[in-house]
Amino acid sequence: MTFGQLPYDVAHLLGGGMLLLSFMLLYQRRVGAVINALAMQGGILAAAAAWQGVVQDAPQLFLTALIAFAAKAVLIPLALRHLLRRLDLHRTVETALGVGPSMIAGVALVALAILVVLPITAGVRAIAREDLALALSVVLLGMLMMITRRNAILQVVGLMTLENGLILAAVGVAGMPLVVELSTAALVMMLLVVGGVFVFQIRERFDTVDIGFLERHRGESP
């Protein structure tokens, strides 16, 4: 399939939507809104997976879509909200890098992603190339979010976005084996991260595992 064909356009559209949402995630100033955006992104991801299932008539992709929807559009956002309420975390986004600058950085990353993907010759079909660019951008933006936001929740969200990008890439490639297994395995890790946030009651940052009495340790402070 090439440009101007429905399957490609839809897939492209969905990918673009995810990228857009990644930017929204970077843009939001309130944690609640961020979580909503994350849920939406999860939904779109599920849709993309399903669509690819239709296009490639690969039934296992529907399973992926289902899992993605259940986990990313519903469960995890709810969990995060609950966390937000229970540990009464800051409701406002604390940034290490301001919203404006991080947007600019995000644009730069997207540009980089396109630059990297550009030289890929037409030997690979265009769809893959485009999707790859999108997915790569989402991944990079997710990581950018992890390092420019201070709240633990937002860092978890960044990790989730990163993983969404992975799944997007995975489903985008026609005939990718073990998609379900891999996406599930990746998901398990995400769940464990969220679980870790619960268990260790990480209030503020990843790097202050806040079990009340924990001092900054890092080994050999004399």
Interaction pattern, residues 86-105, with other proteins; x per rule: CB under 8 A = ----------x---------
Smallest gap, in angstroms, from Cβ of residue 163 to other proteins?
6
Smallest gap, in angstroms, from Cβ of residue 147 to other proteins?
5
Nearer to other proteins, 2 or 85 (CB): 2
What is the Cα–Cα distance from 136 to 128, expressed in whole angstroms? 12
User: How far from 47 is each of 142, 165, 187, CA to CA, in Å?
Assistant: 20, 14, 17
Asked whether position 196 contacts other proteins by CB under 8 A, the answer is yes
Residue 208 · residue 157 · CB < 8 Å: no
Q: Among 5-13, 39-47, 61-69, 143-151, which window interacts with other proteins (CB under 8 A)?
A: 143-151
Q: What are phi and psi of 53, to 5 degrees?
A: -60, -45
Nearer to other proteins, 50 or 141 (CB): 141
Smallest gap, in angstroms, from Cβ of residue 219 to other proteins?
5
Q: Minimal CA–CA distance to 115: which of 101, 136, 144, 146?
A: 136
